[in-house]
Amino acid sequence: MTHEQMNPTIEKIIANIEKVMIGKRNVAELSLVALLAGGHVLLEDVPGVGKTMMVRALAKSVNANFRRIQFTPDLLPSDVTGVSIYNPKEMEFQFRPGPLMGNIILADEINRTSPKTQSALLEGMEEASVTIDGVTHKLQRPFFVMATQNPIEYEGTYPLPEAQLDRFLLKMKMGYPDLQEEMEVLNRAQKEPPIEELAPVIQLDGLLALQQEMKEVFVDDTIKRYIVDIVNRTRGNGSVYLGASPRGSIALMKAAQAYAFMYGRDYVLPDDIQYLAPFVLSHRIILKSEAKFEGTSAEEIVNRVVARVPVPVRRLVK
């Protein structure tokens, strides 16, 4: 989106991910936007395009504790969060943590499990803690979830309710590689998988420091008003049944701060908002039946809204 100079550490992380991911730089960038902003990502795409590889590469690059949860219809909430087991020798219950107790979590095919199990994951995402048998267990920091769902198969799936979709900072798709990229995928597949050779470029305490620095990025009042105007217009749009909530405004501001920080700026530009709005807002609106019937997508609606909202012209520096 921009030709600005990227933060050197962020550039190293993305370069590391690109050693195993071919032609998906924008996905790596957006994933880092969510990670820096303390949010989570919903990745909707068909199987086999590299979702798992992407998350593993990100975890290795920041030396994070990686966990993968394969969601199935029979998965129980305790299979995700953990369980208290009675130890007769100690005569007390001991907590055995589930796969949610990691830094970077791949929640694979989240729409294949029951709403009760989905809620266990989403509660952890929202509260950064889980409660088991009345005891609250804090999750590790940083804590980042990338959930995937297959948009094609609907039989035997449990679509995420709108209130739970709202918990994801960004929703995006990876898409298929082009012909040249897929040729390179084949060439690499002939050799030892490079994911095993990836070395971290930053430690977790360094990542936590970046998350704190990101919060210092300045957001001018004109930019805040621009965000609110965009989100407000999703609510009054004729094709929209339910518009984005104030949580959408907060998410767009945080994502823009992270994006500006990644590109070495200490202030947010209108361009940041325009680029990120479809990724942040599309999954937060519900279209009317007529709009769906006409083949209109939520992304199209958000892009139309952004195109109609006047862009701030005030000079945006401290």
Work out the angle at residue 254's Cα, subtended by the Cα atoms of residues 210 and 101, and round it to the nearest 5 degrees. Answer: 60
Tell me, yes or no, whether 315 lies in a domain.
no
Residue 58 shares a structural domain with residue 145: yes
* Residue 224 and residue 108 share a domain: no
299 and 170 inside one domain: no
pLDDT per residue, tens digit, the chain (318 aa), is: 445 788 899 999 999 888 888 878 889 999 999 999 999 999 887 776 678 888 889 999 999 999 999 988 888 888 888 887 877 877 777 778 888 888 999 998 888 888 888 888 888 888 888 877 777 888 888 999 999 887 765 555 677 777 778 889 999 988 777 788 778 878 777 776 677 778 899 999 999 999 999 999 999 999 999 999 999 999 888 888 888 889 999 999 999 999 999 999 999 999 999 999 999 999 998 888 888 888 888 898 899 999 999 998 765 454
Helix (H, G, I), strand (E, B) or coil at 10: helix
- Domain C-terminal end among 210, 232, 262: 210
Asked whether 76 and 207 are in contact (CB, 8 A), the reply is no
Which of 161, 181, 210 terminates a domain? The answer is 210
CA distances from 79 to 96, 100, 123, 251, 274 (A): 10, 9, 14, 29, 40
- How many structural domains does the chain have? 2
Please indicate, yes or no, whether residues 116 and 229 belong to a single structural domain of this protein.
no
Residue 270: other Cβ atoms inside 10 A = 21
> Does residue 293 sit in the same domain as residue 246?
yes
User: What is the biggest distance separating any 2 CA atoms in the chain, rounded to whole angstroms?
Assistant: 70
Note the pTM of the prediction, 2 decimals: 0.88
- Give the three-class secondary structure for 68: strand
On whether both 202 and 220 belong to a single domain, the answer is no
Could you tell me if 64 and 27 are in contact, meaning their C-beta atoms sit under 8 angstroms apart? no
Region at 240 (left for phi over 0; alpha for psi -120 to 50; beta for the rest): beta
Domain span holding position 38: 8-210
Cα gap 170→299, rounded to integer Å:
12
Same domain, 36 and 138: yes
User: Are 14 and 135 within one domain?
Assistant: yes
261 and 173 fall within a common domain: no
